[in-house]
Amino acid sequence: MKTTFKTSPMKKLLLTLSMALIVILSNAQSYNPLVKEGTVSPAPMLPVEFHGTGLLSFGVGNSGSTPLHLQLNQEMVLIISLSDGTPNNVDPIAALGGTWLDKFDWTYNSDPLIRTYTGTQNQEIPGFDAGDPEASYGTITIDYAVFRNTPTQAGTISNGFNVNLSPPDYTNGFNTTNDDAVSSYTYVEAFDYGDAPISYGEAVHEINVSGASVNYIYLGTSVDPESSYQASSDALGDDSNDTDGDTTSGENDENGVTFPLLTPGATVIIPVSATIESGSFAFLNAWIDWTGDGDFDDAGEQITSGPGSFIASTGTTSLSVTVPLDATTVPTFARFRIGNPVGSSGPDTFGEVEDYQITIAATCINPPTVVLGSSSGSTCGLTVKTVTGNTFGGSATSIVSITENGAGSVSPTLVGSSPFDFTYTPATGDFGNTVIITVTTDNPLGAPCEAATATYSLTVYPVTPDQTIELDTCIEAEAGTVTETLTNTFGCE
């Protein structure tokens, strides 16, 4: 059975009008101002103590097909609120950028409780065109500086921004409002890495400066962050690396340890200073690679650890260290860590690591010696001078040279046993002069020992000849010639 429904002429008219209205409305105004894709870079940022900065960015546009025309008092408005940060420019407007910066007039409220940009539309915003989608969409960026640290990564993160879009009044009823806001936030984080050669292992400390932390502790008077381990052949990779957000090209934050002269067998005091900004205590852990084999694993190379290394306040700790007799004298490395009781490598949740290249000075354990029977003397004219009672010792096995700077000669010039004598035979060219005789031992042990030397100063006086004096008066005496022998002021006849 077939059933037929009839529609009255009025209903047909209403239906036709409704369809027409739908068509008309579908071709009418279509607006959708929007913001989206909020980002913070880098994420996380460095803390305010290290001049943490970043770039905030978001997209703004119109996904509707109808342009957002410029109508007085009905402009599209962007409200950008900075969270725990400020514009990274003395001129807040100069901190703004992006492809759509010029489509808005900008103001900034610097009140610490507000810190808000307002951007007011100043030209027509194109509608979406599938043939040119970029024409209806652009970006806004803000150079951002951390003003206050987010407490911790695990807690509420609040370094960043949020944007609220206020659409023109004339878009009411045509605008989707679920894309009228966007935000992006991150936290702050910093790490300090070692910079000794990689064979010593990577040591890294989180620098605990965030607001909720109670362990902002470091060696010396400063600490700066790095993005990765800074292995280097001279342990200066940290100093040449600039990652703390300021304009300084590398900073020397390895200033906690002062090394005295280190020599094999010596016991020395190594002062280590530490700063506790906030916190209650830390432990000092330290190693020196005495053997120079590229690690801190050998016996005796950990020079402090455990309860004896407890540090509870800012100040200097004096470490008493005995240098092994067989310590290497080629450049080697030391590592100092403050934080938890940890090993020479691996992570720590707070504190700092400082690596140093050091050199242990070579010393001579048994140096050669030479001692002369006397250090000076004199002779008259061409009289030979003999110096006796001379000895050599220590590691010396011989006298390898006896030299002089006079006109005469010395003998012997080589000596193989101790004690020994040597002589100097003057020449006329020595008269009235002082001759220096230098005695030098051998050095069988080599460096760092050195040959021993000693000097003898010999003054050579001239000789006064005999003189005959005729007497003016007659003296009763036996017949013959009377003579008188004179000596000069030096005692030479």
| Tokens 């001379």 found at | 390
Domain spanning 30-186: CATH 2.40.110.10: no
Share of the chain above pLDDT 90, in %: 73
Separation between Cα atoms, residue 117 and residue 163, nearest integer Å: 9
Which pLDDT score is estimated for 254? 87
Which pLDDT score is estimated for 23? 37
Share of the chain above pLDDT 70, in %: 83
- The type of residue at 99 is T
Residue 304 phi/psi, 5-degree rounding, is -160, 145
Separation between Cα atoms, residue 92 and residue 360, nearest integer Å: 55
The span from the first CA to the last CA of the chain, in angstroms, equals 172
Which pLDDT score is estimated for 262? 95
Separation between Cα atoms, residue 65 and residue 122, nearest integer Å: 19
Q: Does an H or E element contain 14, and which?
A: helix 9-26
Assess whether the region 30-186 and the region 369-461 belong to the same CATH fold: yes
Q: How confident is the model at residue 491 (pLDDT cuts 50, 70, 90)?
A: low
Domain ranges in the chain? Answer: 30-186, 191-358, 369-461
Q: How confident is the model at residue 155 (pLDDT cuts 50, 70, 90)?
A: low
pLDDT: is 16 or 201 the higher one?
201
Q: What is the mean pLDDT of residues 210-221?
A: 79
Which pLDDT score is estimated for 435? 97
Which pLDDT score is estimated for 285? 95
Please give the C-alpha separations between residue 1 and each of 123, 233, 276, 344, 409, in angstroms, as whole numbers.
66, 99, 96, 95, 154
Which pLDDT score is estimated for 83? 96
Is 24's pLDDT higher than 80?
A: no
Report pLDDT digits (tens) over 392-436: 999 999 999 999 999 999 999 999 999 999 999 999 999 999 999
- The type of residue at 84 is D
Burial class for 156, CB neighbours closer than 10 Å (0-12, 13-18, 19+): exposed
Q: Which value, in Å, is the radius of gyration of the alpha carbons in the chain?
A: 47
Instruction: List the one residue out of 334, 266, 280 whose CA is nearest residue 304.
Output: 334
Average predicted confidence (pLDDT) for the chain: 87
Considering the segment(s) 369-461 as one domain, its CATH architecture is: Sandwich (2.60)
Sign of the C-alpha dihedral, residues 100, 102, 107, 108?
Answer: positive
Is 4's pLDDT higher than 70?
A: no
Which pLDDT score is estimated for 177? 82
SS3 track for 261-324: CCCCCCEEEEEEEEEEEECCCEEEEEEECCCCCCCCCCCCCEEECHHHHEECCCEEEEEEEECC
Check if the beta carbon of residue 148 is closer than 8 Å to that of residue 211. Answer: yes
